[in-house]
């Protein structure tokens, strides 16, 4: 029994004893499930520069000293964005309960209406831990493109109540803006928390 346990443990650790030699190998990567993208996750994300709720310019280096759940939306969104951001905040709370700190981040794609004060208030109403970000149209465009997201603001809105078309993915990101996974809006908070924990090795 002891010998069998030792062999099993050695294999799990990626070590095999053959004769008098010790050989190391990489164990098979854990399959956490989730989505895939052409070119892999390394082709997504990266550096960005936006504005926080205090009006300060911030970059991925300032914000991402650990993992985050990043979502693109807008505060005037009638139904989708509030539901999705609450789901993300709930997933972050579940992870925190298990000792895994993940910050929920909301990035507006509607800079004309979403000033720093507006995104700050929106984020605070969802969760005291959520960070709200906005920026210039160019900054937002570049960030959206970096994450292969989508946003379409009407060029000439008929009134102040215009709607904005946008993708609804949530991205699990870490230092340097590296994307580890993404989540569809139909996935519940429990699924987001579980897969995020797996991706983070928690």
What is the CA 164 to chain-centroid distance, rounded? 21
Q: Report the candidate in 180, 63, 47, 73 with the shortest Cα–Cα distance to residue 134.
A: 73
What is residue 99's three-state secondary structure?
coil
Q: What radius of gyration do the chain's Cα atoms show?
A: 20
What residue numbers does the annotated binding site for Cu cation cover? 77, 81, 166
Contact yes or no for 164/110 (Cβ under 8 A): yes
Q: How far is CA 133 from CA 8, 30, 40, 90, 177, in A?
A: 49, 33, 26, 19, 15
Tokens standing for residue 78: 């009638």
What residue numbers does the annotated binding site cover? 77, 81, 166
């Amino acid at each position: 029994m002891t010998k069998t346990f030792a062999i099993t443990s050695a294999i799990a650790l990626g070590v095999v004893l053959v004769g008098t030699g010790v050989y190391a190998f990489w164990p098979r990567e854990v399959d956490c499930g989730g989505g895939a993208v052409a070119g892999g996750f390394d082709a997504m994300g990266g550096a960005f520069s936006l504005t926080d709720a205090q009006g300060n310019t911030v970059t991925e280096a300032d914000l991402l000293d650990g993992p985050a759940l990043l979502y693109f939306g807008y505060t005037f969104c009638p139904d989708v964005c509030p539901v999705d951001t609450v789901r993300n905040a709930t997933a972050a709370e579940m992870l925190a309960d298990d000792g895994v700190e993940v910050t929920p981040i909301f990035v507006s794609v509607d800079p004309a209406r979403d000033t720093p004060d507006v995104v700050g208030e929106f984020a605070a109403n969802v969760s005291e831990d959520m960070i709200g970000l906005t920026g210039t149209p160019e900054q937002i465009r570049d960030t959206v493109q970096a994450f292969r997201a989508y946003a379409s603001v009407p060029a000439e809105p008929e009134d102040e109540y215009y709607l904005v078309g946008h993708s609804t993915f949530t991205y699990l990101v870490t230092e340097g803006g590296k994307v580890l996974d993404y989540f569809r809006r139909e996935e519940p908070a429990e699924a987001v928390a579980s897969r995020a924990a797996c991706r983070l090795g928690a």
